[in-house]
Structure 1
Amino acid sequence: MFKHILVICVGNICRSPSAEFLFRQKLKHCDIQIHSAGLKAMVGHPMDDNAMRMLEARGIDAATHRARQLEPGMLREADLVLAMEREHLSAASRLAPEASGKLFLLDKWRDASDIPDPYRRSPQVFEHVHAMIERGVDSWLNYL
């Protein structure tokens, strides 16, 4: 059983925190810690307004989120690391090679597609990406 899940993307203000908070909502009755971080995090920044609105529409308050920089220790401590893109998997593997066996795409159980970065894009792009993230999160629930 996974006790600590880490979700990663680049800035840690759109995709990975969206997945983090969706997982938290869907796993609120489980003893699983879920966190997120970014490969080039906008450290200390809150979630992007569009990403936050997508969560608010589902009754999720993510106002407490602040972006964190991914560090090797985070990868080592996590039982499962989920990334938005293949490039993120490669970067995380270079950062902590010993964590390679627990690195997977968020979309692994669906199309194994990269989930594109919606940052500075239209609200419609955010809606599309959020739907992809939600499907990815839902697809992992059977394995947690």
Structure 2
Amino acid sequence: MSEPRDAASSGEPAQADEAVEPVTPGQWGTFRTRADQRRLAQVQAAKREREAARARPDVSLSLDAGPAPVRPQQAGHEVDSLATGDDRETFTILVVCTGNVCRSPYFERVLAADLAGLPVRVEGAGTGALLIERMSSGTQVLLRERGLDGARYRPRQVAPALVREADLVLAASREHRRVLVEETPTAASRIFALLDFADVCAEAPLPRTQGVDGLREFVAKSPAGSVERHSTRLDAQAEILDPFRQGPEVFARMAAQVDPALATVAAAVRRIMG
């Protein structure tokens, strides 16, 4: 059987319901796709090339240089919770999955709605964003059931600049986290698997400082690498079910898995914001 290609690596247009071959099942029936594995292999190869280049004279490369061209941010990737003014006065959360059509759009719209009115911006991206003009229809259904809008959405490829500029990055799995850390090592302490960060929000004491500075302090006091090393979760248990090209029941299982984590994160953010 020939191995399927993802849109990001092949350069070919993809459909929202394009088949993706599963590889390793997790606790919730989630799957690491071959697209995820190829992406991680690409960034690791790029890292080795950068390290080899540093060993040669008169070569200067950025630590955060990405291994692949990045699609520019597109008009139409609106979010529901935006703040105005200086970026230092806005706390930015970046949510990431693979195609940016199923999981991360759901994370983005639900968190943005829960944090509406606060100086918090929620954005989404994918490690292998699909070249389509909408989020998955299954995700749109889930959002409509919550009274949220699933329209006006265009998937976009994650870029090192997006990760560097975010105050907090929440990934659908630890494998996504590792891809992002490989590409943007300077932001490693702020990149979490979503379920791991929800554990932090449930267990860690809140900072004395309130507002945006308090949120940044809260994230800084629980560096992601340490959280992952000390977690009792296995990697498979830290994955959010990927419902790509699955039926409504699988999308519902994804929502049932992630909703408590999103609620925990939103509640902690609201408390810290005062």
> How many residues matched?
144
Partner of 2:261: 136
The equivalences for 1:55-134 within 5 A come to 55-108=143-196, 109-110=198-199, 113-134=238-259
Indicate which of 76, 83, 96 corresponds to 1:8. 96
SS in structure 2 of the partner of residue 127 of structure 1? helix
- Match among 113, 129, 149 for residue 41 of structure 1: 129
**By how many angstroms is 1:122 displaced?**
1.4
The structural deviation recorded for 1:2 is 6.9
Q: Do the aligned partners of 1:10 and 1:38 also contact (CA within 8 Å) in 2?
A: yes
Cα drift, residue 130 of structure 1: 1.4
Q: In percent, how many aligned pairs have the same letter? A: 33
* Cα contact 1:18–1:133 (8 A) shared by 2: no
Cα deviation, 1:85-139, whole Å, max 9, x if unaligned, reads 1100000001101010001111123566210210011110000101222222111
- Aligned counterparts of 2:158 and 2:261: Cα–Cα separation in 1: 21
Larger Rg: 2
Task: Give the unaligned 5+ runs of structure 2.
Answer: 1-88, 200-232, 270-274
SS in 1 for 2:254: helix
RMSD: 1.6
- SS at the partner of 1:107? helix
Query: What amino acid sits opposite 1:26 in the alignment?
Result: D
Q: Deviation string for 1:35-82 (max 9, x for gaps)? A: 000000013431100111000010000201110100000000000000
Amino acid at match of 2:245: R
**Contact kept in structure 1, 2:139 and 2:150, CA below 8 Å:** no
In 1, Cα distance between equivalents of 2:110 and 2:127 = 20
Q: Check the 8 A contact 2:241/2:253 in 1, yes or no.
A: no
* Amino acid of the structure 1 residue aligned with 2:105: P
Normalized against structure 2, the TM-score is what?
Answer: 0.50
Q: How far, CA to CA, are the matches of 2:132 and 2:169 in structure 1?
A: 21
Do the aligned partners of residues 44 and 121 (structure 1) sit closer, same or farther apart at CA in structure 2, a change above 3 Å counting? closer
Please name the residue that 2:106 is paired with: 18
Say which is worse superposed, 92-101 or 133-142, in terms of deviation.
Answer: 133-142
1:13 and 1:45 in contact (8 A); partners too: no
- The structure whose RCO (Cα within 8 Å, separation 6+) is larger is 1
